[in-house]
Amino acid sequence: CYYSFHQISKATETPTILVENVDQGIKKSLREVVKLQSITGGQGMLKCSCKGGCATSRCKCKQAKILCNSRCHNSATCRNK
CA 43 to chain centre: 9
Mean per-residue pLDDT, 20-30: 78
Domain spans in the chain, listed from the N-terminal domain onward:
46-80
Percent over 90 (pLDDT), the chain: 0
Measured between alpha carbons, how far is 40 from 55 in angstroms, rounded to an integer?
19
Q: What is the pLDDT of residue 44?
A: 64
- 79: pLDDT strictly greater than 80: yes
Q: Using alpha carbons, list the distances in angstroms from residue 55 to 18, 30, 38, 41, 80.
A: 36, 33, 23, 19, 7
Higher pLDDT, 39 or 52: 52
* pTM given for the model: 0.47
- 78: pLDDT strictly greater than 80: yes
- pLDDT tens column, 36-49: 776 655 666 678 88
